[in-house]
Structure 1
């Protein structure tokens, strides 16, 4: 065997060193986005990561950014679970990715998929003393309090934060579903409507006198934007409309439609919670929908632990979701028409402060004629404890609740709301 010469050894070492240096240089270029990875490698790596969790990797290289952008172009609804303040963390709450495609069949794999927790950027410092009152179409969560003059909007994925002036005096803030981001500062003598469309930064505002019946201004329980109008549901089940595109002065006109809580629309079964449970106003292809849960009510003080006492207070209640009722506002016949199924490829997501309709053909995993909901069964308003929040599915076709699964543990009352994540 021939022994390499000194010059050959030096050349080999030099070549090896050059190769290592080239590899390190290429790695630096990839990190800076100067080199694109092969598409098949990009997709193979990113398919193992939740789309939202992968958003922060978009700066790695151009091919990663392109793949991530495509995955996020059609957002899938996630839950934001708003938890009590925790001194051990600077974050407030968590983003939860639940298995939207799961159909309740535990026989496959023995158990439902475990929800994935996504890092969120809602900071305790930005939300201290504020409550999460819901989510907006832009993907921002809304935080406010009865005493605050500011509505704080935070994107839990990107951390983008904006403060919006909330007019005073007011009785409450109500987020409006549908259209662009919008909310109503509910006052005693007048209401202030605020809306921004198309993801812009500028807000349009309108002042409308509060409509009064017998000298009493009813409480606004829900609102929705559709076709340039605000539709407002009051505490008595009547709907009023405000056409912000109409000539001034703006007026809030009560529609000649029967109350959603009386007559044919009243919950008839003696087993359900009385008085009738308030529901949600939604917009679907220019139509206004009303969705209401039907809840069984029991006066038993037990918890989910098989006979374990949940609470010693008389205020503790047990609620079970029996189903949902869906109505469509028929302006021609001036009535709420009950719907047995949703038109086309539609699914509904309902939660306190945020409810919306999605196209299942554009939302990965969603099933047509399903209503995705969140709530809790046991709660006590006196000790501020509940049995944990749960998410579930009601099938309008089968007319039954297919399943419910917990997303939080029993303890201090938490809140959970659906939102459509946005990264731009």
Structure 2
């Protein structure tokens, strides 16, 4: 019997470099896929096969971001790699920032790559824990934000997002917005969902959702949802939806 991998979770993240309808010749689709989070790309208007991307064979890609033909890949240890993907036959990958170590008292963590509204690259570390109460419900304990300093090729710990910024973290995408553009959104805060690719949601719905306040390092729920509503969301990977509105 041939083994077939669970296709429901086969692609954990996908991103495109251009609108496939408006600019089909410039569109490149990049995906993170499989149990080992491998990477591949394809140009839908030009290619008939996928091109595999090997960033670093010693560790797994954890998050990625594309800006036109510039691809940034955040590795499991926090290293950041860059690659120009305009020519899939000539991919040259280079390390541009070293790793960030996780404190020993945090066993589990998740990393995100986010672009600030000023174009800076941010690495966000989310530290996780399972309370020893028999329920095994995951909870976020702390969130730290690091800004990439290109001159020194290093990550700098920051405690203020500045410029009215708020971050939204999740498996499908992680984004930075102006908090004042959205009713109820708080500046210098990090909104997060229960990531599906790290730990399954289970039968009780998404439990690890909330808001981390960067200034005083506190956590709140931040969502007006009762337990019945959350229970109906079980097994649904959470996503963020950004309205395409013009703010003045």
User: Are 2:189 and 1:370 aligned?
Assistant: yes
- Structure 2 unpaired stretches of 5+: 1-5, 20-27
TM-score, normalised relative to structure 2: 0.70
Kept in 1, the 8 Å contact 2:110–2:127? The answer is: no
TM-score, normalised relative to structure 1: 0.44
- Note the 1:210-359 alignment, pairs <5 A: 210-212=54-56, 216=57, 218-226=59-67, 228-244=69-85, 249-255=90-96, 257-260=97-100, 262=101, 266-268=102-104, 270=105, 272=106, 274=107, 276-284=108-116, 285-302=118-135, 317-359=136-178
Residues 208/249 of structure 1: CA separation in 2 closer, same or farther (3 Å cut): farther
Q: Greater helix share, 1 or 2?
A: 1
Q: CA deviation at 1:227?
A: 6.9
1:60 corresponds to: none
Match of 1:184 among 23, 30, 44: 30
2:236 corresponds to: 414
Kept in 2, the 8 Å contact 1:380–1:386? The answer is: no
Taking the aligned partners of 1:333 and 1:395, their CA distance within structure 2 comes to 28
Residues 320/239 of structure 1: CA separation in 2 closer, same or farther (3 Å cut): same
Secondary structure of 1:409's aligned partner: helix
Q: CA deviation at 1:292?
A: 1.9
- Note the 1:81-100 alignment, pairs <5 A: none
Match of 1:174 among 9, 13, 18: 13
* Poorly superposed stretches of 4+, deviation over 6 Å: 202-206
Secondary structure of 1:415's aligned partner: coil
- Structure 1 unpaired stretches of 5+: 1-128, 132-144, 147-171, 196-201, 303-316
Query: Paired residues, what number?
Result: 219
Rg comparison, structure with higher value: 1
Write the deviation string for residues 354-403 of structure 1: whole angstroms up to 9, x where unpaired: 21111123333322101111228xx986xx72432254211112210133
